[in-house]
Amino acid sequence: MPQSSGYQRKPQWLLKKIERTPDTREVKHLLRDLGLNTVCEEAQCPNLSECFGRGTATFMIGGDRCTRRCHYCDVTTGRPFPLDPTEPRRVAEATRRLKLSYVVVTAVARDDVQDGGAAHFAATIRNIRQLVPDTEIEVLIPDFKGDAGALQTVLDARPDVLNHNIETVRPIFDAVRPQGDYDRTLELLARCKQAAPDIPTKSGLMVGLGETTAEVFATMRDLRAVGVDLVTIGQYLQPSKAHVVVAEYVPRERYAEYRQYGQELGFRATFAGPFVRSSFHAGELLHAQDVLEDAAPIAPPAGNDWITLETW
């Protein structure tokens, strides 16, 4: 896996302009008004304009400082402030104002808190349920250092989807996520299915970090073996010269291989493409099976006609 030593120039087809439109400005103003963070901004997501333009965002709770330093991530590492007990209600209020039918809530890692922030996740879910009961809620959680009780706290709040990203393949996992653990991720996802089999589970990984196609296939098998329903695969984009260098800009054709293999493994849906991120078009991904049952094709995301959803 390449270490941080500069940039590899992106191919022309992977360039994506982050546009500032009245819609994106309105969403940003609302977020600032409520004092909320989004992973869209903190992680410099290439889909920010599209999602903000549709009035959607992935809320990042627990503050904007993470207790871990992953070599691919642009979220600030540092000593976090204490958890704000008013934040869950403010997230619910933003969900109401944006009229979201589907909301994704993630968080920085809070290893400084006894439960890793699990109760804060649960409070956010319950506040959204109370204020906008028809909104579906996906949570993208950290690993809570393998704490089964913390995971159960989140599951007891009954999210509609439980997402925990494996991020990369086993052979390079320790180099990319030195404070994570590949097997701990699989154990968490397996525990989700055991404790709440009716809640769909989801996981995602980045490609272009030096992994092989066979290694991606192996990771997909590992995820399916622990009951994961939904999987996302997207290109790693280096945030700065201080981060892990891109080893490869994965050609579009390979994503088709990943989608096909996901279908063969029996995932409910596989979302794979260069700009795919775990929360991108999350609502459509969850309901891909519903669309299939209605005998209607699922539309690809606007502006990315080479990204498709595949279901079994």
> What pLDDT digit, counting tens, does each position of 211-261 carry?
999 999 999 999 999 999 999 999 988 665 666 788 899 999 999 999 999
Q: Looking at per-residue confidence, does 161 or 243 come out higher?
A: 161
Dist. CA 294–CA 280, nearest whole Å: 23
pLDDT of 280: 74
Q: Looking at per-residue confidence, does 173 or 279 come out higher?
A: 173
pLDDT of 302: 38
Least confident of 89-93, 177-181, 182-186: 177-181
Q: Is the pLDDT of residue 20 over 60?
A: yes
Class of domain 17-163: alpha beta
Phi, psi of 202 (to 5 degrees): -145, 150
How many CB atoms lie under 10 A from the CB of residue 228?
27
**What mean pLDDT is reported for the chain?**
80
Sheet holding 37-38, edge to edge: 37-38, 58-61, 102-107, 136-140, 161-163, 201-207, 230-235, 269-272, 308-311
pLDDT of 264: 94
pLDDT of 110: 72
Q: Is the pLDDT of residue 14 over 90?
A: no
Rounded mean pLDDT of 64-77?
Answer: 60
Q: Is the pLDDT of residue 309 over 90?
A: no
Q: Residue ranges of the domains in the chain?
A: 17-163, 204-312
Nearest to 18 by CA among 293, 275, 218: 275
Q: Is the pLDDT of residue 203 over 70?
A: yes
pLDDT of 159: 98
Dist. CA 90–CA 45, nearest whole Å: 23
Contacts for 13 with CB less than 8 Å, ≥ 6 apart: 252
